[in-house]
């Protein structure tokens, strides 16, 4: 008999049995584990949300505060290029469009806080470098990098809110966090115009750098890690070190290698944008509205200086009306965003992402945005008293925040585990359109006038008005149609 037939040679005792995995999860009961971000005290939760909201306000403020000083910067750099003048503002928003492709995946690999703190420091550095730039190329490069690094809280903040807040409380948090992205661009020119008038355009960057520095220090002290996969992996590492048992493994750990996981995460926002029709359609709608808003911001100084004879500082003040409309929209949304979710939960009805698009939000938002454009355009065309086009900008601001918050909260709920990537996809398209549309926008008004130019934009936004309404009513069925769900 050959040795290969010897049963002893293949005894099961000779094959080492791997130790069973010890799955790491929150301590039981799960809803009482203090390490779970969902169980943190309201004070800690809201402190984190408010810090992110402040940074999300400062970043777009920096993007637009340059607008009143463009002519002075062109004079200092000895250039008469109108392309440089427009691009010096919009290139920051182009950084908005690029940053999420890297920052959102990094936050889902290494956690939220390390990305927040790192990018806050870089945002401060590049903002300061803008103040000492001596030529156009250097200035534009640092403006781009400021936008690239500054967009972190705008991209990842949605993920932090999803980590911290249950669905029935998420709407109010998203409202507070989102308002800065709309209010910041409106407040920026007011501050920029005043500082430039009393000091110099370089001091505009120094002043905002001081504010960013203070907020960055506060962020280091207050922000805590909230991403569940990272927290559980850290817990598993602590248990392995404390016990010497290498079998401890996070329940959410991936079987992929670090390289494969990074590759998968880095392409996720682009994949969601390109291959998931739900994300593509809603993000396109948001991008169009965002681009129109930035185009409007570019027209304010021309309209109110040329048509109404405002000074540079007075032209900066016209942004207040849009900001006021946005704040009213914030208060309105905070009242209705969570109402349907709470009502369904109390009644024992399954809560769905579509509950974030109730008729009381989608219809007013989708209709008031173009209405404000019509009022602003035609009253400026016929030189009606300046308060009337200001009312138009306030109505547009009101409508914009309703749509932005409704769609962003919907994306967070629909893609809860990958909220940062979903909002990152949103920020990519929104930033691209916001940066490029204003470049050719003024030619539109020269060709059509203020009335028909804004009417064209109004009709464009009105064409997309049914989108949030359709998703609010039929979204659950649409998401379940084959091809509308994305394997991410």
Q: What are the tens digits of pLDDT across the range 99-140?
A: 888 887 788 788 899 999 999 999 999 999 999 998 889 999
Does some domain include residue 44?
Answer: yes
Average pLDDT, the chain: 84
Q: What is the pTM of this model?
A: 0.78
User: What's the pLDDT tens digit per position in 340-366?
Assistant: 777 777 777 777 788 778 777 788 889
- 166: nearest Cα among 174, 157, 156: 174
Does some domain include residue 373?
Answer: yes
Q: What is the pLDDT of residue 1?
A: 43
Mean pLDDT of 197-214: 92
Please state whether the peptide bond connecting residue 13 to the residue before it is cis, i.e. omega within 30 degrees of 0.
no
C-alpha gyration radius of the chain = 25
- Please check the confidence at residue 82 and state whether its pLDDT lies above 80: no
Are 445 and 453 in contact by the 8 Å Cβ rule? The answer is yes
Does some domain include residue 375?
Answer: yes
Q: What is the pLDDT of residue 478?
A: 76
CATH number of the domain where residue 94 is located: 1.20.1250.20
Q: What is the pLDDT of residue 117?
A: 96
Q: What is the pLDDT of residue 481?
A: 66
Q: CA-CA distance, 360 to 342, in Å (whole number)?
A: 15
- Please check the confidence at residue 249 and state whether its pLDDT lies above 70: yes
Exposure string over 42-55, b if 16+ CB within 10 A, otherwise e: eeebbbbbebbbbb
Q: What is the pLDDT of residue 11?
A: 43
Does some domain include residue 135?
Answer: yes
Neighbours of 209 (CB within 10 A): 20
For residue 15, what pLDDT band results from cuts at 50, 70 and 90? very low
Mean pLDDT of 282-287: 91
- Which DSSP symbol is given to 135? S
Does some domain include residue 71?
Answer: yes
The tally of domains found in the chain comes to 1
User: What's the pLDDT tens digit per position in 46-60?
Assistant: 999 999 999 999 998
Identify the top-confidence range among 166-180, 369-383, 424-438: 369-383
Does some domain include residue 143?
Answer: yes
Q: What is the pLDDT of residue 8?
A: 44
User: What's the pLDDT tens digit per position in 388-438?
Assistant: 999 999 999 999 988 988 888 888 888 877 777 788 788 888 888 877 777
What percentage of the chain has pLDDT greater than the value 90? 31
For residue 5, what pLDDT band results from cuts at 50, 70 and 90? very low
Q: CA-CA distance, 372 to 380, in Å (whole number)?
A: 12
For residue 486, what pLDDT band results from cuts at 50, 70 and 90? low
Q: What is the pLDDT of residue 298?
A: 73
- The secondary element (H helix, E strand) that includes residue 463 is helix 419-463
Range of the structural domain that residue 232 is part of: 21-480
Does some domain include residue 59?
Answer: yes
- Please check the confidence at residue 296 and state whether its pLDDT lies above 70: yes
Does some domain include residue 487?
Answer: no
**Segments in 244-358 forming alpha helices (H):** 258-275, 277-302, 312-317, 319-336, 339-346
Are 412 and 160 in contact by the 8 Å Cβ rule? The answer is no
């Amino acid at each position: 008999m050959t040795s290969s037939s010897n049963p002893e040679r293949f005894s099961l005792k000779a094959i080492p049995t791997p130790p069973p995995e010890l799955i790491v999860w929150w301590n039981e009961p799960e809803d009482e584990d203090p390490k779970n971000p969902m169980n943190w005290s309201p004070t800690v939760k809201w402190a984190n949300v408010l810090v992110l909201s402040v940074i999300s306000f400062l970043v777009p403020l920096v993007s637009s505060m340059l607008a009143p000083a463009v002519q002075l910067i062109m004079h200092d750099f000895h250039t008469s290029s109108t392309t440089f003048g427009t691009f010096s503002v919009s290139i920051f928003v182009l950084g908005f469009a690029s940053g999420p492709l890297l920052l959102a995946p990094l936050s889902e690999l290494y956690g939220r806080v390390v990305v927040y703190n790192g990018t806050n420091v870089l945002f401060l550095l590049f903002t300061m470098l803008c103040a000492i730039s001596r030529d156009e190329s250097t200035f534009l490069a640092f403006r781009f990098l400021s936008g690239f690094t500054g967009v972190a809280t705008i991209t990842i903040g949605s993920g932090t809110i999803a980590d911290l807040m249950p669905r029935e409380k998420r709407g109010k948090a998203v409202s507070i966090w989102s308002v800065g992205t709309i209010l910041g661009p409106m407040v920026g020119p007011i501050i920029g115009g005043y500082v430039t008038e009393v000091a110099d355009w370089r001091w505009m960057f120094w002043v905002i750098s001081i504010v960013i520095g203070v907020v960055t220090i506060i962020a280091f002290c207050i922000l805590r890690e909230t991403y569940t996969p990272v927290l559980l992996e850290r817990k598993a590492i602590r248990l392995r070190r404390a016990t010497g048992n290498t079998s401890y493994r996070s329940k959410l750990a991936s079987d992929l290698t670090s390289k494969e996981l990074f590759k998968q995460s880095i392409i996720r926002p682009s994949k969601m944008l390109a291959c998931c029709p739900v994300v593509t359609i809603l993000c396109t709608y948001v991008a169009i509205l965002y681009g129109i808003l930035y185009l409007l911001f570019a027209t304010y100084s021309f309209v109110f200086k040329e048509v109404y004879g405002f000074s540079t500082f007075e032209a900066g003040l016209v942004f207040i009306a849009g900001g006021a409309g946005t704040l009213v929209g914030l208060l309105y949304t905070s009242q209705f965003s969570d109402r349907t979710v709470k009502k369904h939960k109390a009644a024992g009805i399954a809560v769905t992402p579509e509950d974030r698009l109730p008729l009381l939000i989608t219809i007013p938002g989708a209709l008031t945005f173009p209405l404000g454009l019509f009022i602003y355009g035609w009253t400026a065309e016929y030189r009606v008293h300046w308060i009337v086009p200001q009312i138009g900008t306030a109505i547009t601001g009101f409508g914009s925040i309703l749509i932005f918050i409704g769609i962003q909260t919907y994306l967070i709920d629909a893609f809860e585990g990958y909220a940062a990537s979903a909002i990152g996809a949103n920020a990519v398209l929104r930033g691209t359109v916001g940066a490029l549309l204003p470049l050719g926008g003024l030619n539109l008004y020269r060709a059509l006038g203020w009335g028909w130019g804004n009417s064209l934009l109004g009709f464009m936004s009105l064409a997309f008005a049914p989108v949030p309404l359709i998703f609010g009513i039929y979204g659950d069925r649409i998401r379940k149609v084959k091809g509308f769900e994305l394997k991410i």
